[in-house]
Structure 1
């Protein structure tokens, strides 16, 4: 008799858990709809120390300029010393605060050395923006071993080295923001970008894993992680983008992309960088069945052609 009672109890408990799950899904869906209609207020960035990798060009440069215009104290990192210095000087000309450090972010020892200089000359970073990336466009078998290693070194390992440097200070302060530039190619892969897609999926996995780790038992609720999934951005990385319906999913300018990223950071939201702010995009690439998604992508005929 006791065994029967225990079995019934377990089934009742399971049904209650399932009902709670359904209720939670409904509430979260309604909350998401409401957040779309009535977005969260924009947080201030005044006084934040913002470190941006790949600050000398493209999205990184625009992020640096726009963070500075909002009162952030910007630390520019780039392997190209000349363009990085130009970004810093442009910020200073506009009346902002900026520092520039030459750094190969894929080199762990160099990252440690430069971060020590940042702490000494600027202070503890409060917003980390892992933006630096490279994107060779060619068939998989034409990538050399060194090219594949380099793509992972810059696009993935740099995230690890920078997060390892600054996450401890975030934990100590009880606050901080980590921004990671993934890609639409980190949600849905495309041809001629296999190594690049792999790195962007890896960035997504890193950020989702960190999110789960930091939110477990509500241990670190004030450390914000923002993942960014740009579509094709006009930075020169994609030399021959192919888009069947450019009016539906147009190429984004670096300035537009940076503005959307910063808005996401200020609202604490994930970002898909399409100028029309197609919030259905995230649902399409994550919720649709795989085969339906493939058919949809074939119809859209969007990708990157070989250089």
Structure 2
């Protein structure tokens, strides 16, 4: 096709898409039912993973819980069962590929094919790059990005056979911007965002439009994952609010969730602002946090 016709078609698609987006602002988005769906959530023994499991339990999904912490898993399972859900619990170390593969086979035999996969498990060390031990770097990559790949390899084939399913990637705004003392974490979250984006495009190219993908990218969430987080320009979010946004995104098949949505403007501006301005904004942001490995405090 003539390149001019290609551009005319592109322009027409852009106009239609903007008009559609404006119309949708005034029409409530239809939410899909997840009742009876098998939902597997990694890192579900605490924090956002536990809250997400409970939200699916309220919607009568069949819940599959994975975590390395058995006590946390049992507590999450008890909460979900109180909400009337059928729950299956598996102690899994998501830093170990063979353990993921083994647990996945058990899930397929004992529960069935997973309909919604929520890759939520994550770790953070929060220290200067040169102070990181090699085993810590390997661990954070194993859990924060490689586990997403191994779990998806396990459960995507069944989704492709049915041309139906949903793969959820819990990433972070740190997958879009660099943050000091989180070099390794940012690297894994950039990887998670890239994994989501690439997988989304590939599924579309292969014609599997029935398989949906959602990527969650919040700013700091007060889950205890990091201690006493604070910023001057971005809010520190409570996990219940973030999970509400995540559930809305899953049920309406949104591909990318930046939470809060106002942060999108900051991400766009960073592509155009001079480096000196970006550096000044980063200083103004004054991100503070602590972990068991590092305490970030203001220096007067």
TM-score, normalisation: structure 1: 0.88
Q: What is the correspondence of 1:157-176 to structure 2 with a 5 Å cutoff?
A: 157-176=146-165
Deviations 1:257-298 (A, max 9, x none): 111111100000122232xxx2x4335414652435826843
Superposition RMSD on alpha carbons, in Å?
2.0
2:58–2:85 Cα contact (<8 Å) kept? yes
Match of 1:128 in 2: 117
Q: 2:58 matched to 1:69?
A: yes
- Say whether residues 1:301 and 2:285 are aligned partners: yes
- Cα distance per residue 1:10-46 (max 9 Å; x no partner): 9xx2222223223322332333343344342111111
Task: Give the distance between the partners of 1:34 and 1:295, measured in 2 at CA.
Answer: 38
Kindly state the Cα deviation for residue 83 of structure 1 after the two structures are TM-superposed.
Answer: 0.6
Rg larger in structure:
1
Partner of 2:210 in structure 1? 222
Provide the TM-score with structure 2 as the length reference.
0.90
Q: CA deviation at 1:200?
A: 0.3
Residue deviations 1:166-186, cap 9 Å, x none?
Answer: 000100111000000010110
Quote the residue 1:271 is aligned against.
Answer: 257
Q: For structure 2, which runs of at least 5 residues remain unmatched after alignment?
A: 296-300
The answer to whether the aligner puts 1:291 opposite 2:273 as a matched pair is yes
CA shift, 1:256, in A, is 1.4
Question: Secondary structure of 1:192's match?
Answer: coil
Partner Cα distance (2:244, 2:63) in 1 = 16
Deviation at 1:160, TM superposition (A): 0.6
8 A Cα contact 2:168 2:213, kept in partner: yes
Give the aligned length: 288
Q: Which runs of 4+ in 1 moved over 4 A?
A: none
CA distance in 2, matches of 1:33, 1:149: 45
Partner of 1:6: none
Secondary structure class of the residue paired with 1:252: coil
Could you tell me whether the CA contact under 8 Å between 2:232 and 2:287 is conserved in 1? no
CA distance in 2, matches of 1:300, 1:30: 37
Contact 2:63 2:86 in 1 (8 A): yes
Is the CA contact (8 Å cut-off) linking 2:230 and 2:236 kept in structure 1?
Answer: no
Which residue, out of 185, 188, 200, partners 2:174? 185
Unaligned runs of 5+ in 1: 1-9
Matches of 2:215 and 2:33, distance apart in 1:
19
Q: Distance in 1 between matches of 2:27 and 2:283?
A: 33
Give the number of the structure whose residues are more often helix, by fraction: 1
